[in-house]
Structure 1
């Protein structure tokens, strides 16, 4: 028997180390070739499981399958370090810097491919990378090396290494305008190759386990051409059925045509500043499809702030394109991220298809940023799928403040190195080119006649109802009760879940619910639940029934719904503008009324960006005189001024500061000067070129301030999914369940998780790989059925 990479569960067929290394290297090279790093990725694939050429690993894997009761402990045989050491020693003995950097990059990738990238320097001023790559004992290392070089000669490996140097230099030339940017580019490149390796490794292992080898190369251009024809047919029918002489409909059609024509421009970073209600989703889709066809982009990715927008936009696109199978909605990570060192238990979960290989993907800003910066291996597996794509950021003003620099640099890398076209969409463009670590260059704005367009889309009047004392829940309820008599419908948007829930309960107590329908919306409800509520609201609005909806800010961006009146608790100018977009959205009234209030029961100390945004907006209101019209807040000049003041106030936050380290994630992933200086003082000399603290940065990175965990809820078909998860699962079963479960998950915060565990309402399945709620912990009105402390309503989950 030769050396073994895997043993199939079903029939105990063996995949040899040679077969696995060859297939993984081919796939990794294919992924790497998209950005010109074919040989770097190829080397990672060839060497990643080199350690499986050992007698100890052969004994381990055969015992795990055939004699599990006497098998060595899980993860006790290290098969990752050998390949990392081999490439490090081979490349680091060269005199040129490019070779040394390759040894460090590939060495780290290979030793880390079952956990996450290691720190070159950690906060204690040591090098976990060096300790692992140089000091860890590897049994039979010389024999392992001989077996690898028998399979693929050392001369061949040195040829690949030589070609890799040219690839590395070319990448640096594309995106390294300073020393900081050079180190940051090397970090992103490391992550990209890491992504290519992980996806190649798991894909090949999955295909072997399923005994189903298939060509994964996709050519989505024929599909995009078919989609484009269907979209144009739909738009033509829409224009035919609408009043084409209506000024708004004419402007919508004109902006859509501008997007179509603009799509002929080359890869770049562009803005699309269509006002709320201007048909942004379909116009951006028209642009993306035509651009993807012309420049042969692999996929189209929509990135939105809220899962609510995913549900609505994805459903609209699926209906128009008449395709359910090729459009992926990715809300959250249903599987808890653990390392994949175990070869027998939960293999189906670890290998389940959770990458982004669909032609069209709808996801959130959380998931996009996680692909670049979060810990573990599940998220980063998707990173290489962002190359040679069209990425549409819907409501881009919602980039979390502490992630602004990280977002900008990710965008720069995607455009400059990965050949990805970026579209920044919003009615309220943030000043992302105003901050220190800015987007390198926004190439152009698609809509040319912005002044005329903004004026033509004005459908509401904004009124100042703020007061120094602020409004109580009871006073706000009375105000709504007074106004519902003259308004057909009222939407009230508040900043925290606690006050939303309290106002909803107060209104239910005061109002005649036979005459009025009252609804509650928040992220405590799963996507399927929110979708059902929104559909019910829309039907009642269409039938001219009296409706009151109390919601957190999840409703204010991207949800195609129209109330005759909107009440918005004081927040940033961008949020107010988005909230106003839910009022008189389709011009049903001559003018809709939007009232800005200040709710005195909202405690925003844990929501710093909302608090500061509210303070800046309040100053802008007072400058015009309290109690007056607030229409000036919606001007391009006011929005630009607001963002500049907002980013200035939060300047120290933009790089994702970590106070306990006196550094930022931006620094940890770039030059990392403080850690380097501290290492030199402690050890006298630092023997590496790269200083990056990958593991530390990932450990601290969270898009939202509080740690959140995805759980599956027993709402609707969620009950069936929970039942299915209790049984035996194949890889295909898990892949299907992961997709289905997206609609039936919520994210819970740490304090909520602890309460649910204490009450026995949170159940782990498949040894904790999935977490599910008991029925008693989910309410048909509010969703998650525990009392929150009101400290946060995330914009993004």
Structure 2
């Protein structure tokens, strides 16, 4: 008898349950093998759809195919609980057995959750959704599905041997020294197994639907060696240019050489503190490609704080490597799958399923993404996020401008990096001109001894001094009117001025209030999509290249890594790291004498919803006051190593209670939900008090609750595609019904035409007709009248059609 897993849309071919389970098992084993848990991952793969070995599911899927207009009741057949129950009944009953119980919990949770998100082992109601699922859920044909599983997939004796191998792997995994407690290990292992299962399941189903065989893995070692040769050719070409022997270029070359040499060291967590303008992107790429080739890494991943840097860095790397197909830019999740629970899917591949199967698992050799997306992989809800986790292993990951890690996520960030170092065999480079104190928090980063790649750091910083900081913040206050006058005065002295303020509202108001002028004015903010910002930056760079007058008003997005060089920068008071980054946009290549960076205190900025900027501003002002009283304090320079160390100590000290992601509604830290010892877990203690017994589980972590509350940016955002240039055609095509491959390509293209709306922005646009649902509301787009050629998103939805860039 053939039991059906899927029926192909194009030709109604059947994929049997055993074919699917064995295919997913093989893929999951390959993924698990990366961190030494081949059989644990394979166990999840072979069990995940055991519940499809029933007449009930077979009738359900056949009826869905025969009656597409009137299908059976959705969700009427549970096919994901059976595999979890089998593990629970066979290995989690009777006398507690550490290995068997933990294995059943880790793998069982992944199996029962593979159509939604990991279950809580214990929640705030002192209940266990995991136990309720594996113990109480009604499964009419459970015995039949188990019998068929042992008949068609693997016999019981071999299954027991397989489980024994998995228990051995588990014990070895737990015995490995790790900079955290056992609960943290189990949390990260569970998420890794879930990642392996999700990707293996989606990949096998996609290959069946596309009628393809599994793609052979490209030899990444040869590819990275080819890339390295191309990069070195480019570096040698730089050395033949007329200005190659200027002091700054000689120093850039020296630091690049140090990165090359450092690539021969073992993988670990290291710091790269190249000053702004020191050639950080190419130097770090040189390390990454050489180390990846030597150590057999599968990916080189750049993680940046803002999407603007993705565009610039990716373009720079593409220009050198000449291989667009192997370079992925991932700005945000275009598809909203956070609340998905598709247990009700019938086995037929409809449009909704195609979105889920679309290739979006970060398997490219070179990836550029954001800190938001990196943290979402580990901690946010949605199968699309966690599916990518395993591809962070066996990688070289460059964290550009790592000082921008949100304060609330510092401990979670450290746990993720420690896992990737210890288990994931990845090399992690913390890249910035202003290294934060990530090892001074409670959940410390397991950074390597002698971690700094650049030698004689203080001398390097002195040699790169191209600006002086002018304090205009301690004695006077600025509003937009006064700032406008100040800018006009400076335009009599210099050709180009960059003004960086802390809020989008004040930037936009300053731009709009500027009276007509012959000087070209430009506006930049995250309300504009990546392609739009690129267009503006190209215009700005063209003015700068020809020495023409130009003024650019921007939020902080321009600070981190955007390669522009103005004669003068005006920066609204904020954290020292932000001031340092803004200073890096002034006299960037040292072609002029020392230029001025003016720090002002802008009274019109409302920072009540920006606590990190507010705290940073307060500490920076204190340091400025110290320097005014005694110019020798803090190393005699606002941006000295001593000043920066003092800044980060105070910054993390003031925000100490936020470092472990405190959740006000629960009055609990995220770290307790994910990795606290049972003996001090408040949910566990409440459970004991209520039920007068111990929780019959080794793990008490609350995975789904934690994911529900996790947001890197605390005000939830929604990604929407905007009708700017090619974005309009992408919106039109997404309204059609394409293949999985076509959808994958469109979603990749859409990254350049996507912006993230805050909750109030989405609500306002929804009310005034500015939002358009695509693909059943799984993807959203802006109406044409809700996007403006100067500012991007128009919340009023009344931009004139003739003003649109389409």
TM value normalised by structure 2: 0.95
Q: Work out whether 1:408 is the aligned partner of 2:409.
A: no
For 1:334 and 1:774, locate their aligned partners in 2 and report how far apart those are by CA, in whole Å.
16
Partner of 1:597: 600
For 2:598 and 2:646, locate their aligned partners in 1 and report how far apart those are by CA, in whole Å.
22
Residues 183-218 of structure 1, C-alpha deviations (whole Å, 9 max, x = no match): 011100100010000000000000000001123433
Residues 452-488 of structure 1, C-alpha deviations (whole Å, 9 max, x = no match): 2111100001000114662111111111111111111
Partner of 1:257: 257
For 1:456 and 1:704, locate their aligned partners in 2 and report how far apart those are by CA, in whole Å.
37
Q: 1:674 aligns with which of 661, 665, 682?
A: 682
Partner of 1:743: 752
Mapping 1:398-797, distance limit 5 Å: 398-443=404-449, 444-467=451-474, 470-507=477-514, 509=515, 511-512=516-517, 515-625=518-628, 632-671=637-676, 673-685=681-693, 686-786=695-795
For 1:388 and 1:174, locate their aligned partners in 2 and report how far apart those are by CA, in whole Å.
18
- Which SS does the other structure have where 1:738 is aligned? helix
Mapping 1:331-346, distance limit 5 Å: 331-337=331-337, 338-341=340-343, 342=345, 343-344=347-348, 345-346=350-351
For 1:267 and 1:557, locate their aligned partners in 2 and report how far apart those are by CA, in whole Å.
26
Partner of 2:804: none
For 2:653 and 2:362, locate their aligned partners in 1 and report how far apart those are by CA, in whole Å.
36
Cα contact 2:468–2:596 (8 A) shared by 1? yes
- Which SS does the other structure have where 2:271 is aligned? strand
Partner of 1:791: none
What is the number of equivalent residue pairs in this alignment?
A: 782
Distance change >3 Å, CA 38–CA 86, structure 1 → 2: same
Cα RMSD of the aligned pairs, angstroms, is 1.5
Partner of 1:62: 62
Cα contact 1:340–1:350 (8 A) shared by 2? no
Cα contact 1:616–1:646 (8 A) shared by 2? yes
Residues 506-551 of structure 1, C-alpha deviations (whole Å, 9 max, x = no match): 22x2x41xx3110000000000000110011001110111010000
Q: 1:166 Cα shift?
A: 1.6
- Which SS does the other structure have where 2:320 is aligned? helix
Give unmatched runs, 5+ long, in structure 2: 798-806
- Which SS does the other structure have where 2:705 is aligned? helix
For 1:162 and 1:421, locate their aligned partners in 2 and report how far apart those are by CA, in whole Å.
32
Partner of 2:801: none
Q: 1:154 Cα shift?
A: 1.4
Partner of 1:128: 129
Residues 420-470 of structure 1, C-alpha deviations (whole Å, 9 max, x = no match): 110000000000011111102333110012122111100001000114662
Q: 1:242 Cα shift?
A: 4.2
Cα contact 1:466–1:627 (8 A) shared by 2? no
Residues 39-85 of structure 1, C-alpha deviations (whole Å, 9 max, x = no match): 00000000000000011111111111221234222222110000011
Q: 2:173 aligns with which of 168, 171, 175?
A: 171
Cα contact 2:178–2:418 (8 A) shared by 1? no
Deviates more, 1:683-692 or 1:489-498: 683-692
Mapping 1:282-431, distance limit 5 Å: 282-337=282-337, 338-341=340-343, 342=345, 343-344=347-348, 345-346=350-351, 347-431=353-437
For 1:766 and 1:660, locate their aligned partners in 2 and report how far apart those are by CA, in whole Å.
34
Cα contact 1:336–1:770 (8 A) shared by 2? yes
Residues 115-142 of structure 1, C-alpha deviations (whole Å, 9 max, x = no match): 0000001111111111111001101111
Distance change >3 Å, CA 267–CA 227, structure 1 → 2: same
For 1:298 and 1:74, locate their aligned partners in 2 and report how far apart those are by CA, in whole Å.
40
Partner of 1:269: 269
For 2:650 and 2:541, locate their aligned partners in 1 and report how far apart those are by CA, in whole Å.
37
Residues 584-625 of structure 1, C-alpha deviations (whole Å, 9 max, x = no match): 001121111100000001011110010001001111111122
- Which SS does the other structure have where 2:762 is aligned? helix
For 1:741 and 1:528, locate their aligned partners in 2 and report how far apart those are by CA, in whole Å.
10
Cα contact 2:179–2:446 (8 A) shared by 1? no
Q: 1:30 Cα shift?
A: 0.1
- Which SS does the other structure have where 1:147 is aligned? helix
Distance change >3 Å, CA 166–CA 134, structure 1 → 2: same
Distance change >3 Å, CA 242–CA 163, structure 1 → 2: farther
Deviates more, 1:678-687 or 1:339-348: 339-348
Q: 1:557 Cα shift?
A: 0.7
- Which SS does the other structure have where 1:498 is aligned? helix
Distance change >3 Å, CA 657–CA 363, structure 1 → 2: same
Partner of 2:145: 144
Partner of 2:800: none
Residues 568-590 of structure 1, C-alpha deviations (whole Å, 9 max, x = no match): 00000000000000000011211
Cα contact 1:390–1:420 (8 A) shared by 2? yes
Residues 738-785 of structure 1, C-alpha deviations (whole Å, 9 max, x = no match): 110000000001111111111111010111011011111000000001
For 1:649 and 1:594, locate their aligned partners in 2 and report how far apart those are by CA, in whole Å.
27
Q: 1:632 Cα shift?
A: 1.0
Q: 1:257 Cα shift?
A: 0.5
For 2:216 and 2:650, locate their aligned partners in 1 and report how far apart those are by CA, in whole Å.
48
Cα contact 1:175–1:182 (8 A) shared by 2? no
Partner of 1:792: none
Distance change >3 Å, CA 270–CA 349, structure 1 → 2: same
Q: 1:104 Cα shift?
A: 0.6
Deviates more, 1:301-310 or 1:339-348: 339-348
Q: Work out whether 1:51 is the aligned partner of 2:59.
A: no
